[in-house]
Amino acid sequence: MKILFIASEVSPFSKTGGLGDVAGALPAALAALGHDVKVVTPRYRDVREGGRLVPTGASLEVRFPSGELRGPILSARLSERLEVLFLENEALYGGRDGLYGDMHGEFGDNARRFAYLSVGALQAAQRLDFAPDIVSLHDWQAGLAALALRRGYAGTALARARSVFTVHNLAYQGQFPKSVMGELGLPWDVFTAENGLEFHDTVNFLKAGLVYSDALTTVSPTYAREIQTPEQGYGLDGLLRRRAHALTGIINGIDTQAWDPGADPFLPARFETGDLTGKAVCKRELLARFGLPPADAPVFGIVTRLAWQKGVDLLLDVLPTALQADLRFVAVGNGEGPLEDGLRALQARFPRQVGVHLGFDLGLSHLLEAGADFFLMPSRYEPCGLNQMYSLRYGTVPIVRATGGLMDTVEGGLEGNGLLFEAFHPAALLAAIRRALSLYADPPRMAAFRRRGMEKDFSWAASARRYEALFASLRTE
């Protein structure tokens, strides 16, 4: 198959979160299966190109009522079957400190920036004579491409393409004032609530993807069910229930080369399923890096955005009580000010048990995954989650709330690989931590939990085969 991906961020060139990871890894996995894949993304100012970008000789001319936007198409050839195309436009993407916003908030021209991406990506495929069988669209930034593909390419090679829209996080929808209809030249007959872009008198780019794509996916089977409920549907649950027949949940994979305890360059000692000697070395180094005295106590850790979604406030409610037991807690992350302050206060209150690093540190994140005994993810909601899969691969038992992709990857019970709790409530999380302490006090059972987690296959190859099957089914319909 020929597959065109449209994504607003693609690792390792640009990334703010899981979307960038997926848009970098899934196309590579599909190319490895023998498909011809092109990924289209903006060329932001800080794109890490490593000298690999070359001009294609083609350029875009995207017409809006306010004028025409032009820009060259650059290319990075990553393998024989995989190419990343960058849309360059200084006014839209250059000279900015962030991908979607900066310290002052979201950029005011995001509707135009990502309309250009959506329309420009399809135009780029035409300019480079790439006629895709499948157009894979990711999150609200690519939503208008579904509408453009449905309404604007009759009689062209793109008319045969089928579209698949992937929701990475339904909470982010790309809502704009309805004045953008005129600014972008969108036809007013699509500004409807039932089967159009209108959403409470605004224009909703994510809804465009949900309405006009041939198939929908999201990043875990459980999240696919959750977003059809009023609690997690963010106003779109009715639409998603109507399109449930077209919706599939497919778990994200992880980069098993970057996250491999047997070859991880960030670790002081490597280890694997049959020999965890190196994990004990990592634990000692982890405590030392956080300035905590060595101890044979269990270490609990988090690596996370400090955000409401992640349930860090629940953790801060519970930890003062949990730390009355002999345990250690280490945290890597940054985000909302009150949560950062809460972690600082916790560290000040328990200086010999709590270590905190406020900021992103890739090496320290790897060391925490390797050296901790338990990894905490008390999320309010979690479309997929990656850290629980890293933890399982590194023999670190995850403690997770039973939601979204956490339910689909962590197995509870006596013969499981992790610990789950249901209610988003301090008592439920505290009970899970106490179960972890009991598990740690039983070394044979703890070892069995570690082994079962490390033996799970979370590679992108497994996930890519599910996407491949979905894409192939659309071609035969």
Same fold, 2-253+461-476 and 277-457: yes
Note the residue count of the chain. Answer: 477
Q: Is 1 exposed, middle or buried, given 0-12, 13-18 or 19+ CB atoms closer than 10 A?
A: middle
Q: Which fold has domain 2-253+461-476?
A: Rossmann fold (3.40.50)
Q: Looking at the domain covering 277-457, what would its CATH class be?
A: alpha beta
Assign 73 to helix, strand or coil: strand
Domain ranges of the chain: 2-253+461-476, 277-457
Give yes or no for a contact between 383 and 219, defined as CB atoms under 8 angstroms apart.
Answer: yes
List per-block mean pLDDT (blocks of 10 residues) for the chain, which spans 477 residues: 97 87 94 98 82 88 92 95 96 91 92 98 97 98 97 90 97 96 96 95 98 98 97 97 98 92 97 95 98 95 94 98 98 94 98 96 96 98 95 98 97 95 98 98 97 95 95 85
d(C-alpha 464, C-alpha 297), whole Å: 40
Which residue bears the tokens 């309010």? 380
Assign 331 to helix, strand or coil: strand
**Can you say whether the dihedral through the CA atoms of 126, 132, 133, 136 is positive or negative?**
negative
Amino acid at 128: L
Q: What pLDDT sits at residue 412?
A: 95
d(C-alpha 327, C-alpha 376), whole Å: 13
Q: For the chain, how big is the Rg over CA atoms in Å?
A: 23
Cβ-based neighbours of 160, under 8 Å, separated by 6 or more: 131, 133
Give yes or no for a contact between 88 and 75, defined as CB atoms under 8 angstroms apart.
Answer: no
**pTM for this prediction:** 0.92
